Amino acid sequence: MWQDFVSVWQGMQSSLSWTEAFIAIGFSVVFSLIVYFMYQLFYGSRHIGAGVHRMFLMGGPAITVLFLGIQTSIPLSLGLLGALSFVRFRTPVKDPAEIGFLLMLIACSIGASSGNFMVTVLLLVVVFIVLGAKWFFRGRAALGTRGSMMLSVDQTAFDLVENRVKELLAIKFKGLSLESMSVVDGRVNLQYQFKQQAAFDWTAFACEMNQTTAPATVEIFVG
């Protein structure tokens, strides 16, 4: 009985040593923490994603162990690929930025499992610098980007307020251009583009617009 147990235990032994396994999983946990921190720092304040960061600390080590298990066995990897084809993830990715963080987590996990620690650290440093530069220059770069705005006015009052709306828009916005005009359900919809301004009080603009076009009411939609 004891010899059978020993033979089974020996057959279950991995090609990796305990030290190699601990090092790979340990680095995977550290990389997952870094990716989680970068997500919270550069993206977490938006609160518009699907919350994929909640699986980073568990998903990173799990992916690492997965690749540790299949990297020495091609038949096992093919069988695992077939088994995973039955898995369906129902949680939608609401923002493309989350896909980038997921890919970075997977890349770090594979790097930890394959021992490419230097390349993985380089990836994290480069991504951190790029996201940091984007965060630092976002307020300044906004000056050169263009925003969109739609005004909706009742069709019966449009002829009376059209000139006043144009005059106010010309004063408030730079690089203003009318992109499209449509009439839907008795309302005239005007689609504009304009140059972004670093600080713009949309609440005050909406109040001033409604005062200018009174008694007609203008609905403002900003993108």
User: Do 32 and 111 form a contact (C-beta atoms < 8 A)?
Assistant: no
What is the dihedral angle through the alpha carbons of 76, 77, 83, 85, rounded to the nearest 10 degrees? Answer: -170
- Consecutive 10-residue averages of pLDDT for the chain (223 residues): 50 67 91 93 69 85 84 63 55 71 91 90 94 74 67 83 85 82 84 78 83 81 76
The answer for residues whose C-beta is within 8 angstroms of residue 2's C-beta and 6 or more apart is none
- Tell me the CATH number at 154: 3.30.70.680
CA–CA separation, 160 and 171 (whole Å): 19
Local structure of residue 143 (DSSP, 8 states): G
The secondary structure of residue 216, as a DSSP letter, is S
State the Cα–Cα distance between residues 134 and 127, nearest whole angstrom.
Answer: 11
pLDDT at position 152, please? 86
Task: Indicate whether 57 and 126 sit together in one domain.
Answer: yes
Instruction: Give yes or no for a contact between 57 and 40, defined as CB atoms under 8 angstroms apart.
Output: no
Same domain, 32 and 118: yes
Both structure tokens of 99: 């896909």
**pLDDT for residue 8:** 41
If asked whether residues 125 and 149 sit together in one domain, one would say no
Q: How far apart are CA 119 and CA 56, in angstroms?
A: 20
Does pTM surpass 0.85?
Answer: no
CA distance 218 to 160: 12
Are residues 82 and 112 located together in one domain of the fold? yes
- 139 burial type by CB count under 10 A (0-12 exposed, 13-18 middle, 19+ buried): exposed
Name the strands in the sheet holding 146-154, side by side, starting at the edge strand that comes first in the sequence. Answer: 177-184, 187-195, 146-154, 218-222
pLDDT score of 104? 93
Number of domains in the chain: 2
pLDDT of res. 108:
93
Q: What letter does residue 201 receive in the DSSP assignment? A: -
The verdict on 167 and 128 lying in the same domain is no
Rg (CA), the chain: 28
What does the pLDDT read at residue 33? Answer: 94
Asked if 218 and 203 sit in the same domain, the reply is yes
Residue 141's pLDDT is 52
Cα angle for residues 147, 148, 154 (degrees, 5° grid): 150
Q: Are 193 and 148 in contact (CB under 8 A)?
A: yes
Containing domain of residue 115, as a range?
Answer: 15-141
- At 151, give phi and psi (nearest 5°): -110, 135
Domain assignment of residue 134, yes or no: yes
Out of 141, 174, 203, a domain closes at 141
| Residue in 84, 57, 56 with CA at minimum distance from that of residue 69 | 84
Instruction: Read off the amino acid at residue 17.
Output: S
